[in-house]
Amino acid sequence: MTGNSGFDRRALFKGGIAATAVGALTTWGAAPATAAPRRAAEPVIYGTDLWGARPPDQPIEVLDHKPTYIVVHHTVEPGNTEDYSRERAFQISRDIQTFHMDTRGWGDSGQQFTNSRGGHITEGRHRSLEVLRGGTQHVLGANVGNHNSEVVGIENEGLYTDVDVPQALWDSLVNLVAYMADQYGITTDFIKGHRDFNSTECPGEVLYGRLPELREAVAASLGVQARQPVEWPLLRQGDTGEQVREAQRLLRARGEKVSVDGVFGPATRSAVRSFADANGVSTATCYASAHTDERGLLGADIWPLLTDGADRQAVKQRLARIG
Ligand SMILES: [Zn+2]
């Protein structure tokens, strides 16, 4: 836990002591006695008409149900600019749309929303803003392989494997996710990173590592308690330890040729690729993953196949303990 949430907890605790003195009960980490669930304000979101989007060349599909998950991505390309202007946000929105339409052959931008390093939020796929405001439907996008009917995705401009996001991006991400969670009644444990669905680095180790803090911040702005999910770990070449050993045991049990030494080297990577190919695991589909060769990562879409027939929840819990 870093940054603002630690401060907020201390402030709450002090408030709790004061409230106890006048007879109200409060507990560590709980919302203040006076807090009640509240609505999140709609942040400024620039619609497709404002940033110069091309019209979609395939029909926009609006599903008659709410999305289940809010998913955080990073764009990787074009890297970490220091241009924090609104015009830059509009430019990257156009660039992503062009890539998705002309290179990927999709009818429009894959993500529903984009958040720039300057904290400017734009609508991605057409109609996403209008449908979010309605709060009952979902614009089908293309940003999480095999889960697009369940997820509403936010592309965050930049590469966050080693460095942190700018404060402006963070603040607007909190505001946007809080608004989405409120509109759709999505609880904070359903705020996810792309890697919680596909074997991908997205949204980068640093931004992914801040998701617990994002859930805390969103919960605080909605006046509710944060819920934190347990997720499958993402393993890649270079990793060592008990989680790798467990992965190697499971791969061997499925017939892959790898020794159980706790070292994720080239042989383990080959075994993961071979297992993924044999089981038809498709590659991730977001803007970031299109720019990186991510084959051989062992993530959230491969663990369930490796543990088929086992008590998956128990395995997941154990992996989290030994990680
Ligand atoms: Zn992604």
With a cut of 80, say whether residue 307 has pLDDT above it: yes
Q: How far is the centre of ligand 1, averaged over its atoms, from the C-alpha of 308 (Å)? A: 25
pLDDT in tens, 236-277: 999 999 999 999 999 999 999 999 999 999 999 999 999 999
Is 227 a member of any domain? no
Q: How far is the centre of ligand 1, averaged over its atoms, from the C-alpha of 282 (Å)? A: 14
Shared domain for 17 and 99, answered yes or no, is no
Shared domain for 15 and 115, answered yes or no, is no
Shared domain for 81 and 113, answered yes or no, is yes
The C-alpha atoms of residue 59 and residue 186 are separated, in whole angstroms, by: 27
How much is the average pLDDT of 173-191? 98
The C-alpha atoms of residue 143 and residue 180 are separated, in whole angstroms, by: 17
Shared domain for 30 and 54, answered yes or no, is no
The C-alpha atoms of residue 138 and residue 256 are separated, in whole angstroms, by: 40
Q: Are strands 69-74 and 151-156 parallel, antiparallel or unpaired?
A: parallel
Q: How far is the centre of ligand 1, averaged over its atoms, from the C-alpha of 156 (Å)? A: 9
CATH number of the CATH domain containing 213: 3.40.80.10
Ion ligand 1: residues, CB within 5 A, are 73, 194, 202, 286, 288
Shared domain for 278 and 202, answered yes or no, is no
Shared domain for 157 and 195, answered yes or no, is yes
Answer whether the bond into residue 166 is a cis peptide, omega within 30°.
Answer: no
The C-alpha atoms of residue 115 and residue 197 are separated, in whole angstroms, by: 21
Q: What is residue 286's predicted lDDT score, i.e. its pLDDT?
A: 81
Is 183 a member of any domain? yes
Is 237 a member of any domain? no
The C-alpha atoms of residue 104 and residue 101 are separated, in whole angstroms, by: 6
pLDDT in tens, 266-305: 999 999 999 999 999 987 678 877 777 888 999 999 999 9
Instruction: Report DSSP state, residue 291.
Output: G
Shared domain for 62 and 185, answered yes or no, is yes
Shared domain for 258 and 149, answered yes or no, is no
Q: Which domain holds residue 31?
A: 1-35
The C-alpha atoms of residue 302 and residue 288 are separated, in whole angstroms, by: 19
Q: How far is the centre of ligand 1, averaged over its atoms, from the C-alpha of 133 (Å)? A: 24
Mapped onto helix, strand or coil, the DSSP state of residue 186 is coil
Shared domain for 181 and 246, answered yes or no, is no
Is 173 a member of any domain? yes
With a cut of 90, say whether residue 99 has pLDDT above it: yes
Is 279 a member of any domain? yes
Shared domain for 59 and 171, answered yes or no, is yes
Shared domain for 165 and 110, answered yes or no, is yes
Shared domain for 178 and 96, answered yes or no, is yes
Q: How far is the centre of ligand 1, averaged over its atoms, from the C-alpha of 104 (Å)? A: 15
End-to-end CA distance of the chain: 17
Q: How far is the centre of ligand 1, averaged over its atoms, from the C-alpha of 299 (Å)? A: 13
Q: How far is the centre of ligand 1, averaged over its atoms, from the C-alpha of 202 (Å)? A: 5
User: Which of 27-31, 159-163, 201-205, 297-301 shows the lowest mean pLDDT across its residues?
Assistant: 27-31
pLDDT in tens, 34-93: 568 899 999 999 999 999 999 999 999 999 999 999 999 999 988 899 999 999 999 999
User: Which of 23-37, 123-137, 183-197, 295-309 shows the lowest mean pLDDT across its residues?
Assistant: 23-37
What tokens does 231 get?
Answer: 């997720």
Dihedral over Cα of 129, 115, 187, 10: its sign: negative
